[in-house]
Amino acid sequence: MMEHGPGPGAGPVRAAGPVQGGQCRLRPLSCEQGLLSRPDGSVVFLQGDTSVLAGLYGPAEAKLSKELPDRAALEVLLRPKVGLPGVLERSREQQLRQTCEAVLLGALHPRTAVTLVLQVLSDAGSLLSCCLNAACMGLLDAGLPLRSLFCGVTCALGPDGAITLDPTARQEQEARAVLTFAIDSCDRKVLMATTRGSCSVKEIHQCMVVAQNASDTIFRFYRDSLRRRYSKC
Amino acid sequence: MAAERGLAAEACVGQVVLPGDLLLLPASYGEDTEGERLRLSTGAAPAGRLLCGPGLRRSGAGLLVTKCGLLRHRPAGGGAFWVDSQQKRYVPVKGDHVIGIVTAKAGDVFKLDVGGSEPASLSYLAFEGATKRNRPNVQVGDLIYGQFLVANKDMEPEMVCIDSSGKSSGMGIIGQDGFLFKVSLGLIRKLLAPKSEIIQELSQLYPFELVLGMNGRIWVKAKTVQQTLIIVNILEACEYMTAEQRRQALPKFSGN
């Protein structure tokens, strides 16, 4: 878990998003909450064509071998669309678990287990950030106590250094490097950063700034969808 | 969003708040604790202690929101703020009346499933009129309506079926027949509100017995099985129906 502010002297950012006009744009977001009847919290989160279904169980009884004496034991399971989970899924599960643990107030529920199950419904790029967003909304839907919210943003660096936000699968393949950041809602701190490919430190800082700006849109989306949900009460 | 840091608590009452929002309290809440000033005149009412309810935690000068929901405020008795959130999973709270299912008998103690993370324990002496010779007739699988004596995050929850004066006041083993089902915690709170519209409208239909547990469990018993199932379906559907839809749906059932 890295904690980083915006880098000093971040230069001008050239971005080529999927929408014309040269703006950094996220694909359209949509979510549906409380759709499954068995889990305590469930949400399906869509970013463009990428969609992930998250189900949350907890705080429930933990097995003696897995229970922690001072906080809740969080377990994340990521199931790909086809095939069995492999090494890539395991590493993503660890990244998701560390991000969620930074935000969850586990000390309020010691010796319990919280289980988050993510099912990939369709993968059209930016899968890890979609999983992060679905995990956050799932935690909200289940009513678990959180310190703050978090969101996931993916950036792709083109061969010429252009930053594309929320890349599609094709843009990810053509990019020189793909970076995913998990950003906190309190001070826009970076909770988790992962990179695939090669890029310079300055480029990482530029992408971080772009991601932090884009996180505003996602947090506004969370607030709007929750307002809509509670307006029916 | 940066704008949500440090909003006045009173301004947000009735609105949706998200975890991470910091609510600032007006300065009057902190005044008395700062200086130890003796009040010579009894004219001014004491500020009282602010109650920080579920979904909120104290953080420096304000309240940090930890659950998403609607912020509520009660000005009486020093003031209380809490977050009204929709949840399915129950967390035991001291004093709550719940319906538990007996899962095991371990010596002098019954283990009950209350829907939380741990089974609650209930001593056989915690029933009205129970003595070592006169044990209550509780079997595995029975339903018990009781309240929590001990419920915190560090200890196993304990239930009793008597109140502080030793009377059962409606608690104890729930009788034969009837139907037990689970709803969300928000619906239970709505049903338990004084003069709940849903209960009033349902009681116009046919007579029935109803036990509401704060852990989301409801037990219903009416004269016939069909009437029981109709009430169960109406209560389950009340989560998603607005008041208008409910009033339209109910007259259809009054024939049975």
Chain B residues with CB under 8 Å of A144 CB are: 67
pLDDT tens-digit series, residues B83-132: 999 899 999 999 999 999 999 998 899 999 999 999 999 999 999 989 99
DSSP string computed for chain A? -----PPTT--PPPB--SSSSS---PPPEEEEES--SSSSEEEEEEETTEEEEEEEEEEEEPPTTT--SSSPEEEEEEE-SSS---HHHHHHHHHHHHHHHHHB-GGGSTTEEEEEEEEEEE-SS-HHHHHHHHHHHHHHHHT--BSS-EEEEEEEE-TTS-EEES--HHHHHH-SEEEEEEEETTT--EEEEEEEE---HHHHHHHHHHHHHHHHHHHHHHHHHHHHHHTT-
Nearest to A110 among B55, B70, B153 (CB): B153
Chain B residues with CB under 8 Å of A105 CB are: 57, 66
pLDDT tens-digit series, residues A55-74: 999 899 999 999 999 999 99
Other beta carbons within 10 Å of B124: 17
Mean pLDDT, residues B144-164 taken together: 94
Q: What are the per-10-residue average pLDDT scores of chain A (233 residues)?
A: 36 33 72 93 95 95 94 96 95 96 95 96 95 96 95 93 92 94 94 94 94 94 94 75
Nearest to B87 among A61, A143, A230 (CB): A143
Check residue B99 and give its pLDDT. Answer: 97
B58 in reach of chain A (CB within 8 A): no
Judged by CB atoms closer than 8 Å, whether chains meet at B69 and A230 is answered as yes
Q: Assess: ipTM above 0.95.
A: no
pTM of the model: 0.88
